[in-house]
Structure 1
Amino acid sequence: MRLLFHLPLSPFSRKVRLALAEKRIPFDMRIERVWERREDYLSMNPACTVPVLQEDNGLTIADSTAICEYLDEAYPDMPLLGRTLAERVEVRRLVAWFDGKFHAEVGMNLLYEKQMKRLMGRGNPDATAIRAGYANLRPHLEYIGWLAETRPWLAGTSLTLADLAAAAHLSALDFTGDLDWTLNESAKDWYARMKSRPSFRPLLTDRVSGVTPPAHYADLDF
């Protein structure tokens, strides 16, 4: 059975889990505490980050972008990168937005400072960074809301990796209670559609020691 090394609160791991589930590809998971820097794991991924996907044939793929690109090439029946050249360009742009800009401006300031820093033993949260994360969240939710209002899905007419990437990042923050869904109703409605998909259900059952998700986290009707 293929194996995904992951961390429950890693949005990049969550993106790959959603992609595998949307493609109905069976897999097992193993939590990898990257701060322990296991030698066996370093030999698979010298960057010592999650996720890493290990196929049955021994092929090992590190980095969520590389994994998702591989999955779309190896298992093309449910395309997640778009069907036309223009669609693929837009999907990749938005995935880069969420994995890069959103993660840097929101995720690192909230998820990392409030949760991962503690797990990794890297000191106390930075209050200035946390305030910046909350301030940056509003325009990102407004952008997601605008995309959801003007398109059937974030990147166009069909569900793509752009939706999975955005939902992965938001779901990690929703788990920790750091999302104010009153900031944008359109973003909330789009996320409710994502949360109702069968691929999302395993994420809604995640539990992390020391963190209690809000009551609405696993509620499909919010």
Structure 2
Amino acid sequence: MSSTLRSVLLASALLSTQAAATEFSFISGNPADAFGNSYSQTVGGLTITASAWSTTGHGNRYQTAELEIFSGYGMGVCNRDEGLDCSSSGNKHALDNSGAADLILFSFSSAVQLGQLSLQQFGGDSDLSLWAGSGSLNLEGQKTNDLGWAMAVTNTSRVDNIKTVNLSGFSGTYDWLAVSARVSQLNDFAKLRALQVEAVTSPVPEADNWAMLLAGLGLVGFAVRRRIR
């Protein structure tokens, strides 16, 4: 392999993106009680922001709900039909689809690859619907069908313990992830405990690699100039 080609390949490798695993935990740090509240957490330079939504609006359209974090258990939703701080309402303070489909929207400060989601099951069932996409997402007034294709997750065990959901079905990179109790069902209850993602970053080359990179690019430029003369 010529030194010029080797330098160009090294340059390509150095400038390519790499992924670093990051895990966010949602078992502490409850936000203030309010419809439309949010929760943010920063780990390793990556910030995640969570907000709560539910199809309690006119025509089963999404409107803001209250995001709740229950210490030691995880993140859930109190929608506008259940009222603020609905922690005494049985399983309805979880992410559920009893009467309306609750949803938690996670937005990332930069693009990520999705890893896995952990949750606490309640009531013997915790099926989910998930969506992911790029850019920003405003759910106000939208229906679930407006979000497009959803990944369906079925938890077959009736034992109420911690479950892990593999998100590898979402290939590529994403700016947001929406997690809902299973759409079109009525008996799913869960609290979201943690989310693992891989932040897409550009590595910083070492000094000797920079020198080879610049030398390679210089040789490529010289070869191109000779060809066009």
TM-score, normalised to structure 1, is: 0.25
> Greater share of helix residues, 1 or 2?
1
More strand by share: 2
Greater gyration radius: 2
Higher relative contact order (CA 8 A, sep 6+): 2
TM-score (norm 2): 0.25
